Amino acid sequence: MENKKNIFKTAENYEKERFYVIKKEIERAQTISVFVHINPDGDCVGSGLALCRQLNKMGKTSFVYCDDELPEKLEYLPFKEYWKNTSEHPDKVDLSISVDIAALDRMGMGISPYMAAKKQIMIDHHISRGKFADIAYIDSHSAACGEIIYRFIHYLRGMDDDIATMLFTAIVTDTGCFQFSNTTNQTLAIIQELRKFKINPQEIIYKAFSSISLKVFNLKQIILNKIKFYDDNTIGIITFRNEDFEATGTNANNTEGIISDVRNIRGIKVAISICEMGNLSWKISFRAVEGIDCSGIAAVFGGGGHKGASGCRISGYYEDVVDRLLKATRDYM
């Protein structure tokens, strides 16, 4: 017990020390760019905008840069005018901060303006594959980057209603609305704090998490209609083909969440999604129930992730890809 307490104290002190160092760098800079990952989700959007808003409140010139547009379902977020396309980035800024980015290749075209800044900071919650910034703060115990950004803005005494809406969005997204095992007491304690601000939790959950567009619904219908079950209905495989995207006006960025419907079928142990990326190249996602670690299955193909959710890329003919996936999955069950 005593030992545990010490570990906690050390982690807390380490975070305070990191926050202090990051704050000093921010104070020294005037132009600060925030970078988030390609194919942006609610966590990087909410965390990025919240940090950017805070920086603007501190008198800095700051924007959030991404290769992709702000996702349609997140358009309710305040201060979305901070969202800029990477192509609009000015030549050089004083400081660049990456949020929710575990590896540089997730930054897309943002890599060169990010690196061109006089100093780089990374703030992330993934188990890191290496640090790429002058200053890094990585806390893999946080369910969302939104938790870290909450603690940082709280440390700066900057929390307000708009920032609370952004961070509630971030945490709802990365915890699957508190359904995933990454949800901790700390997550819920932060949610409790966020609810003290003027936010609309039901509306945020509906818009950021539950609602889908009609075209994604149409895609879902086609995909679930073609599902294949194996091994006494313990493995379910869905496949997204180019023709499915064409028929519904969607793309590979619209596949999110459909695999959860497969994982939620009683009796399913592993759900697999195979998404055509063109020219015999496939993006694979795995979802596993409690007790099965699907990051191990992804690792067989050079991928990775968490226990309950993981992914990888595979090349080859579709039928061979299915065979290889089934073999690797059976080895883990």
Kindly state the smallest distance separating residue 224's Cβ from Mn ion, in Å: 26
CA separation for the pair 14, 137 (Å, rounded): 9
Kindly state the smallest distance separating residue 247's Cβ from Mn ion, in Å: 31
164 versus 235: smaller Cβ distance to Mn ion: 164
Kindly state the smallest distance separating residue 90's Cβ from Mn ion, in Å: 27
66 versus 235: smaller Cβ distance to Mn ion: 66
141 versus 327: smaller Cβ distance to Mn ion: 141
116 versus 136: smaller Cβ distance to Mn ion: 136
Kindly state the smallest distance separating residue 305's Cβ from Mn ion, in Å: 12
Determine the Cα angle at 55 with ends 54 and 56, to 5°. Answer: 90
Query: Residue 238 has which token pair?
Result: 């869905």
Kindly state the smallest distance separating residue 227's Cβ from Mn ion, in Å: 28
Kindly state the smallest distance separating residue 98's Cβ from Mn ion, in Å: 12
Residue of 174, 239, 269, 288 interacting with Mn ion (CB under 5 A): 174
Query: Residue 289 has which token pair?
Result: 């129930």
139 versus 193: smaller Cβ distance to Mn ion: 139
How long is the chain?
A: 333
Specify the stretch interacting with Mn ion by CB under 5 A; choose among 53-61, 77-85, 174-182, 201-209. 174-182
Which residue's CB comes closest to Mn ion? 43
CA separation for the pair 162, 244 (Å, rounded): 38
Specify the stretch interacting with Mn ion by CB under 5 A; choose among 98-106, 186-194, 240-248, 323-331. 98-106
List beta partners, residue 201: none
42 versus 296: smaller Cβ distance to Mn ion: 42
143 versus 328: smaller Cβ distance to Mn ion: 143
Residue of 25, 100, 147, 162 interacting with Mn ion (CB under 5 A): 100
CA–CA distance from 65 to each of 31, 68, 109, 208, 218 (Å)? 13, 9, 10, 20, 31
Sheet with 270-278: strands ordered across = 228-230, 235-240, 270-278, 281-288, 309-315, 304-305
Ranges within 29-68 binding Mn ion (CB under 5 A)? 43
DSSP SS3 for 285 = strand
133 versus 145: smaller Cβ distance to Mn ion: 145
- Cβ-count burial of 290 within 10 angstroms (0-12 exposed, 13-18 middle, 19+ buried)? exposed
CA separation for the pair 261, 184 (Å, rounded): 23
Q: How many residues bind Mn ion (CB under 5 A)?
A: 4
CA separation for the pair 282, 278 (Å, rounded): 7
Specify the stretch interacting with Mn ion by CB under 5 A; choose among 167-175, 249-257, 287-295, 310-318. 167-175
What burial letters (b/e) apply to 151-169, b meaning 16+ CB within 10 Å?
A: bbbeebebbeebbbbbbbb
48 versus 236: smaller Cβ distance to Mn ion: 48
Q: Judged by CB under 5 A, does residue 25 bind Mn ion?
A: no
DSSP SS3 for 142 = coil
DSSP SS3 for 303 = coil
Q: Judged by CB under 5 A, does residue 244 bind Mn ion?
A: no
Contacting positions for Mn ion (CB under 5 A): 43, 100, 145, 174
